[in-house]
Amino acid sequence: MTSKSVAALRRIGIGVCLVVPIAMFVGSGSALAQKKPAKTKMDTPVISCADATNVGVDVEVCAGATGAPAGFSLQWITAEQYALGPDGVAGTLDDNSWPASDSADLCKASFSGNANQSTFNLAPNACVTVDISDSLFDEQGASSNCANVPLVCGTDYVFRAFTHANSTLMRSDFTANQTCSTLDCEELDNGCTLTQGYWKTHGPIPTGNNSNEWPQEVIDNGMNLGNVTYTALELQAIFDNPAAGNGLISLAHQLIAAKLNVASGADGSSIEGAIAAADALIGDLVVPPVGAGSLPNSQTSSLTGELALFNEGTTGPGHCD
């Protein structure tokens, strides 16, 4: 329509609507053209190997841009199991794959971000290191179906992880597989150490087909934790009691194990100072469930970790193979 035609129509009272090409308003770089679909699930985390002992490995878990507000899960099997596949037979189509979720061969650990005092509710791009050994069970918010903790020395394990869902986003995809290894087994000369998990399942109330392996002097006379003497059955009850965020219980678990190791003949010269410091810190507190004592993890974590390194064989004479 020419400008003269438009003017003529306006003189006789007829309105004119001009149609302008939409491309004049919507360019290739506009917000409409660049709008991304909304996220439907958590970003996949990244995992890597950290430190290792004869009986465990530390795995670092780093959240993506969504964080991991509800925590995450780890799964693992031995590299040998993974190579065979879920049918356990080499040379089949199932080689290099994971067992079914409900398989007894698959070890799984959940690290809840919703538990009280949990350290597993990760902010965007934040990282945390988790200890896959029998110390796992003293972590607030951590749980596992796997009896094969502690891990086996000199063994390769394949790990994978995913971020838990929350109220707005579904769980993430699995990470790529990550292979981590425990330290080599060693021949030991001067006594050796066993983990708290071993002593817990080989005590006066043994688990399954295990027998009571505690030294006779502890069976007969009990043991001091701080200024309080506990019977063997009370010590067993403390082992069986989850830490649930109470640093006193976590410390007691490792202290009992360290004293049982020394009483069984392990060279305790490297840990004497930590044992004395732990007893001094506990003092007159009575450890649950025998009593109701409590200490924050911030006061106990350093000593607990030092005792755990001795029990797991990183320090001292080494772990029993």
pLDDT of residue 17: 46
Per-residue pLDDT of the chain (321 residues; tens, 9 = 90+): 555 554 554 554 445 444 445 444 444 555 555 666 788 999 999 999 998 888 889 999 999 999 999 999 999 999 999 998 877 666 666 778 899 888 888 999 999 999 777 889 999 999 999 999 887 778 888 888 886 677 888 999 999 999 999 999 999 999 999 999 998 876 655 689 999 988 998 999 998 888 999 999 999 999 999 999 999 999 999 999 989 889 999 999 999 999 999 999 999 999 999 999 999 999 999 999 999 999 999 999 999 999 999 999 889 998 887
- Computed over every residue of the chain, the mean pLDDT equals 87
The pLDDT tens digits of the residues spanning 250-290 come to 999 999 999 999 999 999 999 999 999 999 999 999 999 99
**Sign of torsion, CA 210 214 219 225?**
negative
**Residues 109, 133: contact at Cβ < 8 Å?**
no
The CATH number of domain 46-181, selected from 1.10.3470, 2.60.40, 1.20.120, 2.30.30: 2.60.40
Token pair 């190791």 is found at: 261
pLDDT of residue 23: 46
pLDDT of residue 104: 83
Question: What's the rounded Cα separation, in Å, for the pair 217 and 221?
Answer: 6
Question: What's the rounded Cα separation, in Å, for the pair 146 and 244?
Answer: 19
pLDDT of residue 148: 62
**What is 2-24 written as a DSSP string?**
-HHHHHHHHHTT--------GGG
The torsion angles phi and psi of 178, rounded to 5 degrees, stand at: -130, 125
The closest of 208, 256, 262, 264 to 233, measured between CA atoms, is: 256
* Tokens coding 231: 């019977």
**What is 162-228 written as a DSSP string?**
EEPP-SSSBPPPPPPPEEEEPPPP---SS--B--HHHHHHTSSS--TT----S-HHHHHH-EEETTE
Residue range(s) in the chain whose domain bears CATH number 2.60.40 = 46-181
Contacts with 35 (C-beta within 8 Å, 6 or more apart), sequence order: none
Element (H, E) at 75: strand 71-78
Question: What's the rounded Cα separation, in Å, for the pair 161 and 151?
Answer: 18
Question: What's the rounded Cα separation, in Å, for the pair 83 and 98?
Answer: 9
